[in-house]
């Protein structure tokens, strides 16, 4: 992300201002209706598409929504039969304790969402790409795909 333009700088300012604003209780409430998904397949003979995170993964995220990475589920859950459509690519700020282990959490995504995003979103898929935004290498911009 190029932060040299005024528009980008304002976006970064908002991301920093909104970082950490969503409480764990609010995150848990949102996760009652918004599912986290992986874009994958289960191997030969399976469909490629969105798969819900497993109950086990979701339980870990629900327990500590600010401390468990949500970028992938080691064992995809059920295939989402409902047709999901992307309506927004949402940049979000990730603060990491290490430049080598980037672990975005779902709270960071919800911090970047506005009220309309939260109402429209049925599922969230997070891209694995990131871009470092500070000299110390511990703050990154990642992208979440909001699906309806």
Domain boundaries, the chain: 6-147
pLDDT in tens, 12-38: 899 999 999 999 999 999 999 999 999
Tokens encoding 74: 């080691």
Cα 106 to Cα 110: distance, rounded to the nearest angstrom: 6
Assign residue 41 a region (left: φ > 0; alpha: ψ between -120 and 50; beta: otherwise). Answer: beta
Q: What percent of the chain has pLDDT over 70?
A: 89
């Amino acid at each position: 992300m190029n932060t040299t333009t005024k528009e980008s700088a304002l976006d970064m300012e908002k991301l920093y201002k909104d970082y950490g604003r969503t409480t764990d209780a609010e995150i848990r409430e949102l996760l009652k209706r918004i599912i986290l998904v992986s874009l994958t397949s289960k191997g030969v003979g399976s469909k490629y598409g969105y798969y819900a995170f497993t109950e086990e993964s979701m339980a870990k995220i629900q327990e500590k929504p600010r401390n468990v990475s949500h970028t992938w589920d080691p064992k995809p859950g059920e295939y989402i039969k409902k047709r999901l459509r992307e309506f927004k690519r949402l940049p979000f700020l990730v603060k990491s304790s290490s430049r080598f282990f980037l672990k975005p959490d779902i709270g960071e995504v919800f911090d970047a969402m506005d009220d309309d995003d939260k109402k429209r979103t049925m599922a969230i898929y997070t891209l694995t790409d990131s871009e470092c935004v500070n000299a110390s290498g511990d703050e990154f911009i990642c992208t979440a795909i909001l699906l309806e």
